Amino acid sequence: MKTANLTKRQQAVWQFIQAFLREEGRSPTLKEIADGVGSSAVSTIHKHVQHLIDKGFLERSHGSGNNIVLAGAPEADSAPPPVPEPGVGRMLPFYGEVAAGAPLLPESRALPLEVPVAIHRDRDDLFVLRVKGDSMVEDAILDGDLVVLQQRGDYRNGERVVVLIDGEEVTLKELRRDGQGIWLIPHNPDLSPRCYAPERIQVQGALVGVMRSC
- Give the residue numbers annotated as catalytic, written as ranges: 135, 173
Neighbour tally for 164: CB within 10 Å: 17
Residues in the chain: 214
Under DSSP, is residue 31 helix (H, G, I), strand (E, B) or coil? helix
Q: 98 to each of 16, 45, 69, 154, 207, how far by Cα in Å? A: 32, 24, 26, 20, 12
Q: 11 to each of 74, 89, 198, how far by Cα in Å? A: 22, 34, 45
Rg, Å, the chain Cα set: 18
Give the DSSP letter string of 136-154: TGGGT--TT-EEEEE--S-
**Euclidean distance between CA atoms 155 and 151, whole angstroms:** 9
The CA-based angle 92-94-98, given to 5 degrees, is 135
**Euclidean distance between CA atoms 202 and 165, whole angstroms:** 7
**CA 78 centroid distance within chain:** 17
